[in-house]
Amino acid sequence: MVYIFTYADDVQIYMFFNPKIPGDSACAIFKLSMCVEEVRDWMLCNMLKLNDSKTEFFIAAPPHNMPSLSNINIKIGDAEVIPSATIRNLGVVFDATMNMSNHITSICKTVNFLLWNLFRIRRFVTEDASSNAMRALVLSKIDYANALLSGCRSKDVARLQRLQNRAARIIFQVPRRHLSSPLLNSLHWLPIDKRICFKVLLYIYKTLNDLAPPYLSDCLTIRVPTREGLRSNQDLTRLIIPKTNRLIALKVL
């Protein structure tokens, strides 16, 4: 199945295939190429142009499958497009194994630059002004799309936690060795792992109460009890955890 998402200046095409099925990868590439040509024809009919050289091709797969997928490429017009190691979509950096490590690295680079500039002017502003600047400039960067970080490796989440701890120490102008937990409590800042969990729970709450877009509601399914008399049947908001398989995703941007 092919999924196509069109935006004002962007078209994204998704397709999945199973590496365990012989010939499924070649079939998926062929279908994806035909779909790109159909998109090109549609754009020509609407006086638009598909930029071949700026088109990105991305493969997301488990790490043990990546060596067998290194020779896969796709021909788009006159350009031979090879898979990109990372792609940026709505400001989020995705890598081939989808562990979000590259996205966290990108956040760290941006936030470290902001923290350095805020540290330089800290002595000229009040504590309240510094706190407001940290929330507007630093925490907004850390919290953006942080629901995607759910299930990430603890060492990657710890990198973001060190940034938050540094921001709190700059606000209170304390040395680097000062314990950060009391500072976060004074600022009423949740730790990074709790902020991620809160964002996921917030999305679930809004979805269950019809406060979210329909495409999010379609992702959640309320569990229907199959047996009577169970204690778990009293929880009317219990969700079904979907089973996932090791399908490989192809994406063209």
pLDDT at 92 over 60: yes
Quote the pLDDT of residue 79. Answer: 73
Q: Where are the beta strands (DSSP E) in the chain?
A: 2-6, 11-17, 57-60, 74-76, 79-81, 83-84, 86-89, 92-95, 248-252
**Cα separation, 189 vs 168, whole angstroms:** 9
Quote the pLDDT of residue 27. Answer: 84
More confident residue, 239 or 168: 168
By the 8 A CB rule, do 57 and 73 touch? yes
Which pLDDT band holds residue 119 (cuts at 50, 70, 90)? very high
Q: What is the pLDDT of residues 145-182, one digit of tens each?
A: 999 998 889 999 999 999 999 999 999 999 988 999 99
H/E run at residue 163: helix 154-172
| pTM of this structure | 0.82
Q: Rg of the chain over CA atoms, in angstroms?
A: 23
Quote the pLDDT of residue 243. Answer: 65
Please compute the mean of the pLDDT values over residues 222-241 and round it to a whole number: 67
Quote the pLDDT of residue 82. Answer: 81
Q: Shortest CA distance to 102 belongs to which of 153, 165, 175?
A: 153
H/E run at residue 25: helix 24-45
The residues spanned by each domain of the chain are: 2-95, 101-189
Among 39-48, 116-125, 162-171, the minimum mean pLDDT is found in 39-48
pLDDT at 9 over 60: yes
Q: What is the pLDDT of residues 183-208, one digit of tens each?
A: 999 999 999 999 999 999 998 888 88
